[in-house]
Structure 1
Amino acid sequence: MKHILLIATGGTIACRESGRGLAPSLTGEELLEFLPEIRKICRVFVDNPFSVDSTDITTSQRRELAMMIWENYDRYDGFVIAHGTDSLAYTAALLYHMLRNFNKPVIITGAQRPMGEPGSDAERNMLDSFRVACVGWTGVAAVLHGQVIRGNHVVKVHSKAMNAFRSINAPLAGTIRDDGKVLLNIPPRLGGEPEFVDIVDSSFVVLKLVPDLDPSIIEFLRRYDKVILEGYGAGGIPIRLEKVVQKLILSGTKVYITTQCLEGEVDLHKYAVGRRAEAMGAVSLGHRTVEDAIASIQCGEI
């Protein structure tokens, strides 16, 4: 029977009413009390590094999770992280890049309703996560609502719906049937030796382009080493902003272009506005999600 480490971090899945709204309360051990059938799946060990709403999770805490997994690589067959859903995609993407070529499962899950609440998705998501961790999956993935989503393609698309996550610009990596059978759509990753990639760059900012954006806002961004501009459609920079963006690039700030569209990719060769952006030195992020782009920047990959 496989040995899996459950890392509990709080989030809705662990919430109870506090009198001031829902707040994380349950420990990992208490979450497992709702899952008696887990004994048939694997042997679970627990660590509780912190318990917070995922809105409050910092890059430092995400690094702590990655380091905890890396340092326990030889002790466990896999890892399951119970996490809040609101910033789950950012954690999934960062762990995906920090744990490069990781050849054991790192599964991140959460819930839209607290564990034990009527109609909660918490029990199913947790059990499914342990199931996926025990069937040969390798690397970082999110398991939610019967879906397996590779860590660098996870995006939360709905604030309340039970099926709140989608795999953006990639097919689902797998599914879990109602009877618990895991169906993986892709083979295990084949890569080099597992490597811990530390965070090397936190000087970045993301700016969403909107009609009539004040150009002076972009001038303010010179203090950052890297800027991600969320453009429209296939990507580009509005002509009224071109001069100030060019000055930003010439000042030494690297500018990346992504799209506000949920799916698809940036193509700076399609339209003249995109070619002008590329000519001034803006870099296309292609099909990357914003979460994935941020993680790539933090790990020094782009």
Structure 2
Amino acid sequence: MVPFGGTLEKILIREMLKLKQHFNSQVEDEAFRIGVPEPGTVLAGCLTSSRILPAVNADSPSDTTHFVESRVLVLYTGGTIGMMKNDQGALAPVPYQLEHKLRSFPHLHDKECADRIYRNPFGNSPLILPATEERKRIVYCVYEYEPLLDSCNMTMEEYRQLALDLERCYQHFDGFVILHGTDTLAYTASALSFMLQDLGKPVVLTGSQIPIFETRSDGRDNFLGALIMAGNYVIPEVTIFFNNKLFRGNRTTKINPHDFEAFDSPNLPPLATVGITIKVESSLIFKPTSIRRFSVHSQLCQNLSVIRVFPSMALKAFQNSLAPPCEGVVLHTYGSGNMPNNRPDLLEALKDANDRGVIILNITQCHKGGTGAAAYATGQALLRNGVIPGSDMTPETAISKLSYVLSKSEWPMEMKKQKLMESLRGELTKYEVAGPSSNLVFITAIGKSLGLTTSQELEHLREAILPCILNSATQIAEVSHVQDIIDQGADPSTSDYDLRTPIHIAASEGNLRMVEMLLQKGARIHEKDRNGHTALQNAIDFGHLDVVKLLIQAGAHLPLTSNEIGLMLCTAALRDDIRQLQALELCGVDMTTPDITGRNALHVAVLAEHQTVIEFLKARNLHLDVPDKLGMKPSDLATMIEQRTFVMGGKRIN
């Protein structure tokens, strides 16, 4: 596949940002007309957010002018979903048709809204999903790889290209959808789940059994559902959306080539189910406990083999599968991980391979369940010969995980074997001794006092009051108390009415220990509140520098346009807020970024006569001779307001 990059990448990202840039341009002419009247008028009229950005009505998703957006990048690799019948009546990929066709589907593109916002005569602006019951409107664009591939032709090199392209665009989008053929879709999802390390945003793979262009097709619903899940729900995993269900990618396998219900997750329920409403099982979402930035591991080991045990299998064929250059083997055994213990020749071959450094991973041939502690002598024989139990991993995941682990050259052999038995991305079930009930005791007590008895009633009560309790505790309680609530089963990313999660509260309060604990419990850093703000933006607003550093370490970034960043800088300068400027600097913001009027923070600091901010900005290469869109320089403004005490280059302005 041709990599995503170069000029086309810049065009796509630029187009995705045009939505907010257009909103800003609606007031640009007014800003020009304002000129430079009295200083107070300039500060009140040009630099308040209400003038620069129009109000967003989050309660009216049907409003086609102002809405809270979510940006989604669609990577189209090929597959049935975009195929058309050729002259022989066979389905074949047709380049450069998918996006064109999507623009003609009214339930996948709101042309009226797009025309009003972009006014692009060339028709290549981003697509906008029509309003749904969700709070955010999906703005998306499609990148088509060349050539389009049947999924049978996907290789580890294509996995690598996809992973690197996701990394390249990670900070520019809120979520990602990958359109893919169904035959090897589960393999790609499994591989990406390991390659995308410390993932904080949703990556949703989907495809179809019937092309999206056909009158009767599952492709439209699958694509629509994938867009909604990627754009409206922060489920930071690689997932598969198919037939109204969202599955964890590395738990999924294809079960039927002729049915719309083509995929299943035999050992884990769906993460979300789409019906009249969308039901997300928050307790099932994988919660990483590391505090690291998103990164891509782009190498996979290809020296693998797969052995499926069957009665009376030949020794020579068995040995050939274990011979060099093989570095790892996925062994499919009977039942809970058993193979004949009356075949010492096969067991000896496994021992020899293990002694040579070949890692052998044992998974069951059964559709459900897995391998574990050997209850039978036939299973114990494998453990004695160095075979590693793979729990309930799917065949696709076992191959992907083994390939990933073997490619980690920094891990010694014993660590690699240990990692195969651990759940790295939620790919296997760890069977542990049952601890205390995850049902919060006080929820049960409240339910009892209200006369609620059924599990469904208690669950509704839990959903209603737990967000308020957890957020309140985050604000006023000790870290240990909040941790106890989470340990009893509370979701660390549960949100209240304003969509504020505990990490929003802790970041706003500057509670570093609380933020660290929440991150270690799997709190999602890219969740946005009702105003579209992340925890990082809250920490910046209040100047909590230690919290900003920690969130950046965990992978947080500012999902803002340059105009919005310029506005934040100017607002901080207006408020004489050095700490907010320092926080923005920690985020890697270019301190010279202007707002929509072309004014930077130094223009504002001069007008507001904030000497400390002026010196701070001058030390960061903001110059007094940079004009705004009216041609006014900070030095001109200083002269016009007769700021005689202002010092420029050691000389007073008279």
TM-score by length of 2: 0.44
Distance in structure 2 (CA, Å) of the matches to 1:32 and 1:217: 50
Matches within 5 A, 1:149-168: 149-168=247-266
Indicate yes or no: 2:323 matched with 1:256.
no
> Relative to 1, partners in 2 of residues 1:34 and 1:107: Cα closer, same or farther, differing over 3 Å?
farther
Amino acid at match of 2:310: V
> Which is greater in Rg?
2
Indicate yes or no: 2:125 matched with 1:29.
no
Distance in structure 1 (CA, Å) of the matches to 2:164 and 2:72: 16
Q: Secondary structure at the match of 1:163?
A: coil
> Relative to 1, partners in 2 of residues 1:11 and 1:246: Cα closer, same or farther, differing over 3 Å?
same
The aligned counterpart of 2:305 is 205
The worse-fitting range, judged by mean Cα deviation, of 290-299 and 121-130 is: 290-299
Assess if the C-alpha contact under 8 Å between 2:84 and 2:213 holds in 1: no
Distance in structure 1 (CA, Å) of the matches to 2:384 and 2:251: 29
Q: CA RMSD in A?
A: 1.7
Distance in structure 1 (CA, Å) of the matches to 2:357 and 2:201: 39
Matches within 5 A, 1:32-181: 32-33=102-103, 35-38=105-108, 39-40=129-130, 41-50=137-146, 51-136=148-233, 137-177=235-275, 179=276, 181=277
Amino acid at match of 1:8: Y
Amino acid at match of 2:359: K
Amino acid at match of 2:350: V
CA deviation map 1:277-302 (0-9, x unaligned): 10011111111111111121222153
CA deviation map 1:71-112 (0-9, x unaligned): 101111110011100000001111111112211110100001
Q: Which has the higher strand share?
A: 1
TM-score by length of 1: 0.93
Match of 2:330 among 201, 210, 228: 228
Amino acid at match of 1:236: N
Q: Which has the higher helix share?
A: 2
> Relative to 1, partners in 2 of residues 1:34 and 1:52: Cα closer, same or farther, differing over 3 Å?
farther
Q: Secondary structure at the match of 2:171?
A: coil
Match of 2:371 among 258, 262, 266: 266
Match of 2:392 among 249, 264, 287: 287
Assess if the C-alpha contact under 8 Å between 1:218 and 1:245 holds in 2: no
Amino acid at match of 2:72: I
Assess if the C-alpha contact under 8 Å between 2:253 and 2:264 holds in 1: yes
Assess if the C-alpha contact under 8 Å between 1:10 and 1:25 holds in 2: no
Distance in structure 2 (CA, Å) of the matches to 1:129 and 1:35: 16
Q: Structure 1 unaligned segments of length 5 or more: list them.
A: none
Distance in structure 2 (CA, Å) of the matches to 1:176 and 1:157: 20
Indicate yes or no: 2:71 matched with 1:3.
yes
CA deviation map 1:208-253 (0-9, x unaligned): 1122211101211211011111111111232322222222223332
Distance in structure 2 (CA, Å) of the matches to 1:42 and 1:135: 8
Amino acid at match of 2:314: D
> Relative to 1, partners in 2 of residues 1:281 and 1:189: Cα closer, same or farther, differing over 3 Å?
closer
Q: Structure 2 unaligned segments of length 5 or more: list them.
A: 1-68, 109-128, 131-136, 406-418, 421-654
Cα shift at 1:34: 5.3
Distance in structure 2 (CA, Å) of the matches to 1:269 and 1:229: 15
**How many percent of aligned residue pairs carry the same amino acid?**
28
Match of 1:246 among 328, 346, 351: 351
Distance in structure 2 (CA, Å) of the matches to 1:190 and 1:286: 20
Amino acid at match of 1:99: L
The aligned counterpart of 2:281 is 185
Indicate yes or no: 2:90 matched with 1:15.
no
